[in-house]
Structure 1
């Protein structure tokens, strides 16, 4: 890792320390949000050679629901991402935070959730810091689950050419129709935020401007992977399944709530598939015959999408 130059946008690397195992703990100052952001990095296997970068985005809790990422559910603690990417020539970057933000730039500060300028951070500020500190190739991909599964599309659309590949697991990309607005509102309200501070009232044009379904034509040329279950219990929805630890209450919650959420994601994924076909935009769409909104399936999705991502970002 090299000494990162301060970015022209005012963002900069504040601290870097060795975290658990291969993970590097970074603190990056976001000028847009006016605060430090925790960023975890798995460096590429061979630091002497430039490598591309994969950004992994977490869901509604932002990966730090218990205060620290090491104590919370996220890509590095709840899947085998750390082991999976060991030996691979790619920098894997996991920003921490942004719960209920949809990783977008909010129109106004929220009294409860604060200032969200995640589009700016993820497309401009953070890549400049990562590229400088790790000597990357400048080629990027982004993958996200649940809330972030829609955000990855918006990031690719808002920053053309920044991400050669996007992978979306169990999400809903249509955000401006009544169902989409209801889903977004439920997420933001669930964290005691005000959805009007994000894209305004339901009639505000910002909702349509941030709807990847409506802007899908702008994704042409981007490698796309989309996955979801159907909500029906699958092979990982068992007492000995990932994260259940034999607890029947956890299993019941995963089947009931997780089943409902992926049933919704299933309908959204079908809708997106049809939209991309209509526009003649290639995409890999993996709709499993079963499976709930849960980490075991997202780990599988990450594994399954990696060959497409790797092909897109390897020069």
Structure 2
């Protein structure tokens, strides 16, 4: 579902990271090209409505396109936050990356460089955005599917950067025994990536480090919002067609298991976390709803008052 906008999109090229901080541009959608160890990375941003310094990072799923963030085309995220004083940050690309630092390039598809997405999202990109006046510390992060677990683990390991974390249909327990093979099959299907080049063989410490459930203790004190459907198709699935709906239902039936495990783990540790289960499958219309539900929590965590953004469904 495309998002209509009267704001023209421009492209900004890299400026020195050490450039003097400027006040964040007030409103508008812009494409940036950010230097990284992986080469130039496109990042789409919707600047804070009134030039504020807070930011919300939004991560894509496994099939992240190379030219745009699906958040900007398949949801109304831009519209939801248009009146809020928070910059939306949409990293582009990284399909099958799990937004993590890999050990080496994938050996099964000729990948020329090693994915270093954690380094990019927590060091290179914040340093670049600081040149536009965006805070390095007053940020929130959410992700869908592949990006859901990443949002939680990035927040766990970088508490100085993030004040809120949200996962929508994320796979929050990848270190559990069956997940190595589930993820292996998915990554081979999406780009012929080799999972062993990401976190090594099952049981490697990298699997536990990148597991939101295992790292739950590091999330203590952070506002958390986790959502998952139960795999039962609903009205929002109808436009996608029967074939897509069956596939999305199957994927979501796995996601809801890990969301339940995460809920039980945080409850056992006495860590507050909002966990919502709904009828629905693994598809963008549900994640748009999840973002609308998360918006008040995000703004509160960033100490922002709601702006004039319309709520989802108010069309």
- TM > 0.5 fold call: yes
Q: 1:127 offset after TM fit, Å?
A: 1.1
Check the 8 A contact 1:110/1:194 in 2, yes or no.
yes
Q: 1:280 offset after TM fit, Å?
A: 0.6
Q: Which runs of 5+ in 1 are unaligned?
A: 13-17, 239-243, 245-249
Pick aligned residue for 2:269 from 270, 279, 285: 279
Q: 1:3 offset after TM fit, Å?
A: 10
Counterpart-to-counterpart distance in 1, 2:193 and 2:258? 24
Q: 1:84 offset after TM fit, Å?
A: 1.3
Check the 8 A contact 2:64/2:95 in 1, yes or no.
yes
Corresponding residue of 2:46: 42
Counterpart-to-counterpart distance in 1, 2:255 and 2:53? 33
Corresponding residue of 1:206: 206
Q: 1:159 offset after TM fit, Å?
A: 1.4
The superposition leaves residues 226-285 of structure 1 with CA deviations (integer Å, 9 ceiling, x where unpaired) of 0011000113122xxxxx2xxxxx421232100111111111111110000001111111
Q: 1:51 offset after TM fit, Å?
A: 2.7
Q: 1:176 offset after TM fit, Å?
A: 1.2
SS of residue matched to 1:123:
helix
Asked if 1:107 corresponds to 2:103, the answer is yes
Corresponding residue of 1:314: 303
Asked if 1:123 corresponds to 2:122, the answer is yes
Provide the TM-score with structure 1 as the length reference.
0.84
Provide the TM-score with structure 2 as the length reference.
0.84
Q: 1:115 offset after TM fit, Å?
A: 1.6
Counterpart-to-counterpart distance in 1, 2:144 and 2:13? 32
Counterpart-to-counterpart distance in 2, 1:300 and 1:184? 26
Superposed, which structure 2 residues align to 1:109-258 within 5 Å? 109-111=105-107, 112=109, 113=111, 114-136=113-135, 138-190=137-189, 191-238=191-238, 244=239, 250-258=240-248
Counterpart-to-counterpart distance in 2, 1:195 and 1:283? 30
Pick aligned residue for 2:94 from 98, 111, 131: 98
Counterpart-to-counterpart distance in 1, 2:142 and 2:225? 9
Corresponding residue of 2:75: 79
Corresponding residue of 2:63: 61
Q: 1:170 offset after TM fit, Å?
A: 0.4
SS of residue matched to 2:31:
strand
The superposition leaves residues 60-114 of structure 1 with CA deviations (integer Å, 9 ceiling, x where unpaired) of 12233xxx32xxx700011111111111110000000110000000011224344
Q: Which runs of 5+ in 2 are unaligned?
A: 1-11, 20-24, 305-315
Taking structure 1 as reference, are residues 63 and 307 closer, same or farther at Cα in structure 2, changes over 3 Å only? farther
SS of residue matched to 2:129:
helix
The superposition leaves residues 158-202 of structure 1 with CA deviations (integer Å, 9 ceiling, x where unpaired) of 212211001100011111122221232123212201111101112
Aligned residues: 283
Taking structure 1 as reference, are residues 106 and 255 closer, same or farther at Cα in structure 2, changes over 3 Å only? same
Where do 4+ consecutive residues of structure 1 move more than 4 Å? 2-5
Pairwise CA RMSD: 2.2
Corresponding residue of 1:241: none
Pick aligned residue for 1:266 from 251, 256, 277: 256
Counterpart-to-counterpart distance in 1, 2:134 and 2:115? 28
